[in-house]
Amino acid sequence: MASAHPTIYDIYTNADPDSISEVALDIYREWLDFAEGLGRIGGRRLVHPTGKYAKSLSMKQEGLEHIAIIADESVAKEALYLETGHEEVDLKQKLQAGKTYAIHRGGGLSWHPASSTGYQHPATGASASHSGQYLVGFARVGDTGWVIPAMPAYEPGWHLAKEAAKALGGRLVSR
C-alpha cells in the first residue's frame, strides 16, 4: 500500500540514446493521456480525472542515457495512491464532530455523533444537518457506510516501465 518513498524503476539496455529518448517521449505521452482520462494503462483508465495528476507528470533527461518520467506526489497525492493503492478509510475516525465539511461552493454539512434534528443514520446514530446558506449538494451514507474501501494499486508506472523495457530490448529493475 501507500509508501512515503518514491517508486523508481530502472531499465538496463544497450539501445542507442536516440531510441531511449524516443521511447521515453512515447511513454510520457501515454502516461499523460492516461492522467487526462484519454487512454488506458494496464487495461484501466481514469474515469473522472481532475487534471492534478496530469499536472504532476514531468520528464527530465540527465545525460544521454538517463531519462526520468516523474509523477510528483507533492503536486498530486493521487500519483502515490494510483501507484501503490491505499488501505480502507473509516471516515468516522477522520471527521471531527461538529465541524462543517463543504460539499460544493456555499454549502456544507455538519457531522454530529448524535442529534435529534436533521438526518440520523439508523445504525450509527450520526446525523448530517444543513449548515450553509446555499446548500448545493447532499452527502449520504452509501453501501459501505462511513468506510471508503481499500483501493488496489493501478501501478501505471510499473506497466509503462515494463512497456519501455520491452521496446528497448532491456531488462527492468525496481528499487
The pLDDT tens digits for 104-140 are 444 444 444 444 444 444 444 444 444 444 444 444 4
Given a contact cutoff of 8 angstroms between Cβ atoms, the answer to whether 67 and 24 are in contact is yes
3: phi then psi, degrees, rounded to nearest 5? -120, 150
- pLDDT 10s digits, 25-75: 999 999 999 999 999 999 999 988 989 999 999 888 887 777 888 888 888
Higher per-residue pLDDT: 91 or 60: 60
Residue-level pLDDT at 134: 42
* 169 burial via Cβ count (<10 Å: 0-12, 13-18, 19+): exposed
Distance CA 58, CA 66 (A): 14
Q: Which of 46, 40, 71, 33 is nearest to 157 (CA)?
A: 71
- pLDDT at position 25: 92
Torsion of Cα atoms, 171 then 36 then 150 then 119, to 10°: 180
Ordered by start, the domain boundaries in the chain are: 9-87+150-174, 89-148
